[in-house]
Amino acid sequence: MKFARPKCPECKELAEGTLEIVEGVALLHLNEDGTAEYEGTTNIDWNAQQTVKDGRGLITLLCVCGHRWQSKVSDVE
């Protein structure tokens, strides 16, 4: 893939990666009375990982400084 804006517009560093959404299940201890306590563990489903895109298909990139910006992406043969 090729990014139209591979460098951060703020610090000019190259993108370190893409912003991702990852699904997970936060484990609970459910009591008989219906109350629940978070057990402190979340099981992550890495196979459900998705790249964050806006409504126009732009991908969110991040640099090593933590800045975020969006870029078009195209496939490169």
pLDDT-derived band at 37 (thresholds 50, 70, 90) equals very high
Is the pLDDT higher at 5 or at 76? Answer: 5
What end-to-end distance do the CA atoms of the chain give, in Å?
Answer: 8
Q: Is the pLDDT of residue 59 over 70?
A: yes
pLDDT-derived band at 75 (thresholds 50, 70, 90) equals confident
Beta strand pairing status for 73-74 and 2-3?
A: antiparallel
Instruction: Report pLDDT for 77.
Output: 61
What average pLDDT does the chain have?
A: 95
Domain ranges across the chain:
2-74
Eight-class DSSP state of 12: -
pLDDT-derived band at 14 (thresholds 50, 70, 90) equals very high
Interatomic CA distance for residues 34 and 71, integer angstroms: 46
